[in-house]
Amino acid sequence: MLLTRARFADFVPSGTVGNPAQATTVINALSVDSRAEADDMLVRALAAEGKPWQPAQDHGFMYGTSFTDPDGHVWEAIWTDPSAVQ
């Protein structure tokens, strides 16, 4: 579920809800179908006020880009070569 911080707080029975602008609270990884799709997701995120997080990582069989959304949550777009999974 993607929620505003205030709505998310309704699901947290005790304690405080973390502020992703101050500390990394989670890394969300999304699987994509190609390297190009990972690069495109990064471009679109940055155009929507996201910020770069880590440099792109290329391991040959796996490639990923990452960014933070405007609230500071970390997102990664990860492509894995299907032949490497065999």
Please name the residue that has the structure tokens 């679109």.
Answer: 44
pLDDT tens sequence across 12-27? 888 788 888 888 888 9
* 22 contact partners, CB below 8 Å, separation of at least 6: 72
Domain ranges of the chain: 27-85
| Strand pairing category for 74-80 and 27-31 | parallel
Position 18 scores a pLDDT of 84
Q: Considering only CA atoms, which of 30, 5, 7 is closest in space to residue 18? A: 5
- At residue 1, the pLDDT reads 72
d(CA 45, CA 43): 6
> What is the pLDDT, as a whole number, of residue 83?
92
Each residue's pLDDT tens digit, 27-86: 999 999 999 999 999 999 999 999 999 999 999 999 999 999 998 889 999 999 999 887
Residues pairing with 79 in the sheet: 63
Number of residues assigned to the chain: 86
Kindly report the CATH number that applies to the domain delimited by 27-85. Answer: 3.10.180.10
Supply the pLDDT for residue 52.
97
